[in-house]
Amino acid sequence: MSALANIQTIDDLSRAIAAIPYASLLGIQVREEEGQPLFYLPFQNHNIGNTILPALHGGVIGGFLENAAVLHLMWQREGEGIPRVIDFSIDYLRTGRAQDLYGRCEIVRQGKRIANVLMTAWQDDKTKPVAQARAHFLLA
């Protein structure tokens, strides 16, 4: 059975991350916190975009949040197919410093064919997000 099918637990999510090449390249990980997946991106030098500051590359932050949303939907729906991105919009609110990044997803609305997800990324303080994103997904 595919690692992307039948996702019911955090361990299943970890296996799914390992099966997604881009998620593995970034180094995305997941753990359970308060009964929900908490996605995190341990700091790695290859995720730096601005070496002068240094700061995480904006594409890394966006890719992290997009992958987190897809995986969160798969976990919520217990792996009923891979959701496809319809649109994705991100607001960069602060510099992503050279340290771990955390992300949480909230399914704002889910119908039979479309889901709307809000994603938030932060570093030291949940009340000071680095970025927030919104996306619509076509459900399989």
Q: Is 123 within a domain?
A: yes
On whether residue 32 sits in a domain, the answer given is yes
Has residue 2 been placed in a domain? no
What percentage of the chain reaches a pLDDT higher than 90? 89
pLDDT of residue 1: 47
pLDDT exceeds cutoff 80 at 109: yes
Q: Is residue 1 one of the residues assigned to a domain?
A: no
The residue segments making up the domain with residue 77 are: 10-138
Whether omega before 83 lies within 30 degrees of 0, making that bond cis, reads: no
Count of domains for the chain: 1
pTM of the model: 0.94
Residue 19 resides in a domain: yes
Q: Is residue 4 part of a domain?
A: no
Burial label for 109, CB within 10 Å (0-12, 13-18, 19+), is exposed
